[in-house]
Structure 1
């Protein structure tokens, strides 16, 4: 294969443990880091502060990918179909602004692609897509125990009942894009 074309994508689709597990299974993805973005509170937030809902940050993942192996558009399609982009500040039992559906773009091309993907997918959803599209200002890496969470905690209840079924759906919908 040719040279790699490394790019970044930052998105939030509810709990970052779920979103991280989804992208770790996708071909062309080099690295996935759980973290926080989009808040207004000063300094690096902690998980406890994020969970309070008072900082304005969302739980997000920053995906490092090889654009020669998978396109940003394909990654956005995986993202938009691996969570419910029609629920405001909620994914399943996770409720609060920290669980909002959001795409933080890194440049104007990503912004335009996010708008196009949402427009193209909107006809497949019964309700309106409420995914926020905003410029990435700063990304804070989450605490170490949040990284590779599903991989390290598969037997934990949340992983078994929420993440494992999400990965099953991913395999059904996007088998051609998986490692």
Structure 2
């Protein structure tokens, strides 16, 4: 088994939801919430939420490809958000909530583009996928209170109303891919 980890940087709406899902996957070694794809260095949450910096809320995952492949990560990514809505996920609106894959290699780019093409051809979604596939440039770690947000705030209203239903659906669909408790 290879110990060489790879990195994936994904945006699919609020990073609190995304983090709660991906940190439960077997093969995900570490995960940080942050910002990518924008025009200024070291943005703060209050700047990103304005939509003027161009950053998306992202998670950056270190994963072991001998346990979970990039394609399997994309499968979870596309099945846990709506990749057909431009700059919107649920009630969250703005470019900071866009669907995006920030690829770290040509291989990731090719896998992502092929994955999207196959989903569109199979008409998995009612509309075409608008997920951007963009070369990774920089990752800026979000403030500490955003890290491990769901696990630290399970009784908070947003967690109960938005994240819990997503997490339940994810766990049901991917129970064989979950980390052992």
Range into which the TM-score falls when normalised by the shorter chain: over 0.9
Matches of 2:9 and 2:117 in 1, distance apart?
A: 19
Q: Distance in 1 between matches of 2:44 and 2:163?
A: 23
Aligned-pair CA distance for 1:121? 1.9
Residue of structure 2 in register with 1:108 after alignment: 106
* Match in the other structure for 2:173: 173
Instruction: Give SS of 1:18's match.
Output: helix
Q: Which consecutive unaligned segments of at least 5 residues does structure 2 have?
A: none
Structure 1 residue 148: deviation in Å?
0.2
C-alpha distance in structure 1 between counterparts of 2:90 and 2:76, whole Å = 18
| 1:74-119 Cα deviation digits (max 9, x unpaired) | 0011001100001000000000000000000001000000011111
Matches of 2:89 and 2:175, distance apart in 1: 23
Tell me the SS of whatever aligns to 2:35: strand
SS at match of 2:49: helix
Inter-partner Cα distance in structure 2 for 1:121 and 1:5: 29
Matches within 5 A, 1:145-164: 145-164=145-164
- The 3-state SS of whatever aligns with 2:112 is helix
SS in 2 for 1:39: coil
Instruction: Specify the alignment match of 2:62 in structure 1.
Output: 64
Does residue 15 in structure 1 map to residue 35 in structure 2? no
For residues 94 and 174 of structure 2, what CA distance do their matches in structure 1 show?
28
How much has 1:5 moved relative to structure 2? 2.5
Once residues 121 and 177 of structure 1 are traced to their aligned partners in structure 2, the CA distance between those partners, rounded to angstroms, is 21
Q: Output the TM-score relative to the length of structure 1.
A: 0.97
TM-score, length basis structure 2: 0.95
Q: Which residue of 2 aligns with 1:3?
A: 2
How many residue pairs were aligned?
Answer: 177
Q: Match of 1:34?
A: 33
Q: Within 1, Cα distance between the matches of 2:171 and 2:137?
A: 32
After the TM superposition, list the runs of 4 or more consecutive aligned residues in structure 1 that deviate by more than 2 angstroms: none
Residue 117 of structure 1 corresponds to 115
Segments of 5+ residues of structure 1 without an aligned counterpart are none
1:81 to 79, 82, 97: 79
TM superposition shift of 1:174: 1.7
What is the alpha-carbon root mean square deviation over aligned residues? 0.8
Q: Verify: 1:53 aligned to 2:45, yes or no.
A: no
